[in-house]
Amino acid sequence: MEAALKERQDQIHRTGDKPFALVCNKDSLAGAVSQRACVFCGSRVVLYPIADALHLVHGPIGCAVYTWDIRGALSSGPELHRLSFSTDLQELDVIFGGEQKLSRALLELIERHSPKAAFVYSTCIVGIIGDDLEAVCKKVAAETGIPVIPVKSEGFKGNKRAGYTAACNAMARLIGTGDTTGISPHSINILGDFNLAGDIWMIRDYFARMGVEVVANITGDGRVADIKRAHGAALNVVQCSGSTMDLARLMEDDYGIPALRVSYFGVEDMAQALYDVANHFNDPDILQRTRELVREELEHLLPKLEFYKQALTGKKAAIYVGGSFKAFSLVKAFRLLGMDVVMVGSQTGTEEEYRELATITDPGTIIVDDTNPLELTGFLEETRVDIFVGGVKERPIAYKLGVGFCDHNHERKEALAGFAGMLGFAQEVYASVMSPVWRFTEHYQSGDRA
């Protein structure tokens, strides 16, 4: 693929061509227009779904606009998170400092909205001019009586993954400050699910049917009070390992809470996640209820999937998502539908995760870290895929090439987790791949589509 820049070659690997070697978790190449977001955006997407907290962006208005309503994260109650607040730093603020403006904004917003906590995000310009967020937040917290937490997320400090760490460090300030009385010994925190289109409600229902208490959602449909008492749970169940694994490690170090990495996407991984939690508690009743739950769900789901498998067998798919751990489940989900994955990549994957991807993908599959539009276009044209799974930034690339698209990123509005989500995924893939609109594209007319 000649579209790749020379400096990017070590972040691209083809399964089976040669021994695995792939560089990742490095800053994006300047000028490459990476699909990856900045540190600030990384922190914002993690903390955003905490619905009863105030989220204030300390910086120019563009940073707040860029991340407004950035997730399809639903709330069962308050929706303060869906409002976008900014100090809107101007030229004079850059010259003389923005601390007073930040303090006034916090006091006004807290009085007006009565949040349970406030998160204050630092942006690039704040790191340059040197505003002391820590001091301002501490002063406002003392005046208002609520936690006011600085999120140290200056965009130039690294890549999106560094933003995840900043968010986890911010939440760690809340954890341990609440009352843990009455929490069941069979209890968990759900980390790394952001309740996109209501996913977490489905997952919570599964755990309730198993007899497992969920203490805190971190962060989908999240509540400050629940996060404060999250240290009372017996287990952390981590779905998006890139975004919240740092928090799980902090909680293990500070409170001795073990963590399980799971995925809720696809039949295999959803069932395995439930069994892993049941086996951790080693309770016969929980294990029996889990078996019954999985059997009931599969009896309902598998016959319905057969239709889509017959129609989609042999079609080709490409995947580019935020975290590579989710890509494992997508590879398995496409295989269940009889489809071949010919390209897979992510914005924030680790070497260990990419190495595992290389072991589960077919020979010739392209594995890529932190790609850009030029490369993506080249990969899609080379592999002649029938559907591309990505996020809002990847959608235009697919449509311009006459390729079907499935949104599986944090902006999506369709529930795709759990057993029911697998059916929804199959239906969306089928509708996209089999749409008659592709008959009018160059891709179809050149003979690449059956």
Q: Tell me the sheet residues that pair with 213.
A: 187
How many domains does one find in the chain? 3
Is the C-alpha dihedral spanning 128, 129, 135, 140 positive or negative?
negative
Same domain? For 232 and 339 the reply is: no
What is the 8-class DSSP label of residue 1?
-
Task: Enter the tokens of residue 407.
Answer: 């949104």
Candidates 152, 174, 172, 171; CA nearest to 162 is 152
pLDDT of residue 34: 63
Same domain? For 249 and 342 the reply is: no
- Provide the 3-class DSSP secondary structure of residue 368: strand
pLDDT averaged over the chain?
91
pLDDT of residue 38: 85
The whole-angstrom separation of Cα 259 and Cα 428 is 32
Same domain? For 13 and 62 the reply is: no
The whole-angstrom separation of Cα 31 and Cα 309 is 41
Same domain? For 283 and 336 the reply is: no
What are the b/e assignments for 145-168, b being 16+ CB within 10 Å? Answer: ebbbbbbbbbbebbbbbbbbbbbb
Same domain? For 164 and 54 the reply is: yes
Q: How confident is the model at residue 383 (pLDDT cuts 50, 70, 90)?
A: very high
Q: What percent of the chain has pLDDT over 70?
A: 94
Is the C-alpha dihedral spanning 73, 78, 80, 83 positive or negative?
positive
Would you tell me how many other CB atoms lie within 10 Å of the CB of residue 300? 12
Q: How confident is the model at residue 232 (pLDDT cuts 50, 70, 90)?
A: very high
pLDDT (mean) for 100-115: 98
Q: How confident is the model at residue 4 (pLDDT cuts 50, 70, 90)?
A: low
Q: CATH number, domain at 166?
A: 3.40.50.1980
Per the structure, the complete domain to which residue 387 belongs is given by: 6-25+302-448
Distance of CA 424 to the CA centre of its chain: 19
The whole-angstrom separation of Cα 141 and Cα 113 is 15
Whats the size of the chain, residue-wise? 450
Same domain? For 208 and 152 the reply is: no
Looking at this protein, which amino acid is placed at residue 29?
L
Candidates 150, 163, 98, 141; CA nearest to 119 is 150
User: What string of DSSP letters covers 198-253?
Assistant: THHHHHHHHHHHHT-EEEEEESTTB-HHHHHTGGG-SEEEESSHHHHHHHHHHHHH
More confident residue, 348 or 98: 98
Listed residues 172, 207, 233: the one ending a domain: 172
Same domain? For 45 and 17 the reply is: no
pTM of the model: 0.91
